[in-house]
């Protein structure tokens, strides 16, 4: 049996001080260890230039002339250049793949898995295929080679399909992420293949387990799009910078039970009201919350250009905007013209007119935050549409019912000149009005 010497610190003040000092040292080192692990467990902040590019990217809405946000990086060993559409409304990242066979030459706009020594297909029996594809709109399947097969389809009748795979994604000069799962899509069906060929694929950034940001392990990410030169930046990691305007946060809405029209991994916020030039519109609260089927959620989506509202709310906004612009804009007055099937309030503006008149602002009121859309962003010039000596401009908010979409969608056109922070750790979105072109310069980000 071991013998122990027990000191009673209460009887000796000096020993009591030693005992307390030892306790404080233990607590101090404990917190040092906790701080070390909290910093080492999160990847370091990375910044990418964000470009806007006119193309028709596959998305949930029936748009054929879309402006998308583009991120450029390299994938594989040796690295291949890829450009990906930033999409907070999608989960699976994917690349348009082109396998080199025989004398065929690789397409520089596509990713060639046969040229990457680090490329690994995902088996359909793997936990990734079985457990992590449950939020896909179309369930993953098993192909003839026992590989995990994915099919993505969109409301504009475009689709892509191929196999899940993993490879190394190079995110900077020395930052590599190996084993990132993506879709290597060999078949792309589209109504406009020329426009789709401008990018290699899509970067899914929603809250699903296979999204790019989830796999990277970042607790938050941000982006900022300039309304002046349409440049921007994507920041992976924390954005606590002293020069950044304090953010107003709105919580993400969670519904745990599966509902037919509710996207559980989307960035869903609570829209509480809409104002036009400060006037609160008479919109019943009941139409702004999801119903028993999940229809009526409000999603913040960087993969959609414009904002779409369910018909009862759209009609109220349309009527008020029409009323406030009665003396400053000429209505097109063509009942047969509906831009992209969803925007039916359009105006005629003389071709020689360089500036639009002062337009009413439109404000979206969320729980704890507000997004103000003002200036030219309230309208959108229809490309190539000329009526006599006039160009055609439409209200940049559409009727989502006309597109068959049972939701409110806040698109990136109305997120310009706003710092958008997506905090996955605390389930919230932060908003702040900033000059995004100046923010990009502060970070020294070159396009």
* Cα–Cα distance list, 2 to 5, 98 (Å): 10, 72
3-state secondary structure 407-437: EEEECHHHHECEEEEEECCCCEEEEEECCHH
Is 194 in the active site?
no
Q: Is the peptide bond before 78 cis (omega within 30 degrees of 0)?
A: yes
As a whole number of angstroms, the distance between CA 69 and CA 411 comes to: 11
Q: Is 107 a catalytic residue?
A: no
> Among 156, 301, 344, 423, which one carries the catalytic annotation?
301
List b or e across 267-306, with b for residues whose CB sees 16 or more CB atoms inside 10 angstroms: bbbbbbbbbbeeeebebeeebbebeeebebbbbbbbbbbb
Catalytic-role residue among 87, 156, 167, 344: 87
Number of neighbours of residue 55 by Cβ within 10 angstroms:
18
Q: What is the DSSP code string of 35-104?
A: HHHHHHTSPPPEEEEEEEEES----SS--SS-EEEEEEEEETTTTEEEEEEEETT----EEEB----TTP
Catalytic residues: 87, 301
């Amino acid at each position: 049996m071991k013998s122990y010497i027990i000191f009673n610190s209460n009887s000796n003040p000096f020993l009591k001080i030693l005992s307390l000092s030892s306790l404080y040292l233990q607590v101090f080192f404990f917190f040092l260890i906790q701080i070390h692990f909290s910093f080492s467990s999160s990847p370091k902040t990375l910044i990418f230039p964000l470009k806007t590019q006119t193309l028709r990217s596959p998305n949930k809405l029936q748009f054929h002339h879309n402006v998308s946000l583009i991120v450029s990086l390299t994938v594989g060993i040796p690295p291949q250049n890829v450009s990906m559409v930033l999409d907070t409304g999608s989960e699976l990242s994917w690349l348009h793949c082109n396998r080199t066979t025989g004398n065929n030459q690789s397409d520089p706009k596509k990713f060639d898995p046969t040229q990457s020594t680090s490329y690994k297909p995902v088996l359909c029996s793997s936990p990734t295929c079985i457990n992590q594809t449950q939020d896909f709109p179309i369930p993953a399947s098993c192909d003839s080679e026992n590989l995990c097969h994915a099919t993505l389809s969109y409301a504009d009748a475009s689709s892509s399909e191929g196999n899940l795979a993993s490879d190394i994604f190079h995110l900077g000069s020395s930052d590599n992420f190996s084993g990132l799962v993506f879709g290597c899509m060999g078949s792309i069906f589209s109504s406009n293949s020329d426009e789709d060929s401008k990018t290699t694929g899509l970067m899914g950034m929603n809250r699903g387990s296979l999204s790019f940001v989830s796999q990277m392990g970042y607790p938050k990410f941000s982006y900022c799009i300039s309304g002046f030169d349409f440049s921007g930046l994507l920041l992976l990691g924390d954005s606590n910078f002293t020069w950044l305007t304090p953010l107003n946060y709105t919580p993400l809405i969670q519904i745990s039970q599966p509902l037919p029209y509710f996207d559980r991994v989307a960035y869903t916020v609570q829209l509480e009201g809409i104002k036009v030039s400060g006037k609160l519109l008479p919109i019943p609260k009941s139409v702004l919350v999801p119903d028993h089927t999940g229809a009526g959620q409000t999603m913040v989506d960087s993969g959609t250009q414009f904002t779409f509202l369910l018909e009862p709310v759209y009609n109220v906004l349309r009527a008020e905007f029409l009323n406030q612009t009665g003396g400053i804009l000429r209505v097109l007055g063509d009942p047969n013209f509906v831009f992209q099937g969803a925007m039916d309030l359009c105006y005629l503006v003389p071709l020689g007119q360089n500036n639009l008149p002062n337009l009413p602002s439109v404000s979206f009121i969320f729980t704890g935050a507000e997004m103000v859309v003002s200036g030219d962003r309230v309208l959108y010039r229809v490309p190539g549409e000329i009526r006599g000596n006039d160009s055609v401009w439409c209200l940049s908010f559409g009727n989502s019912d006309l597109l068959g979409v049972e939701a409110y969608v806040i698109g990136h056109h109305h997120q310009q000149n706003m710092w958008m922070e997506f905090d996955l750790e605390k389930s919230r979105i932060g908003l702040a009005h900033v000059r995004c072109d100046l923010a990009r310069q502060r970070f020294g980000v070159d396009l």
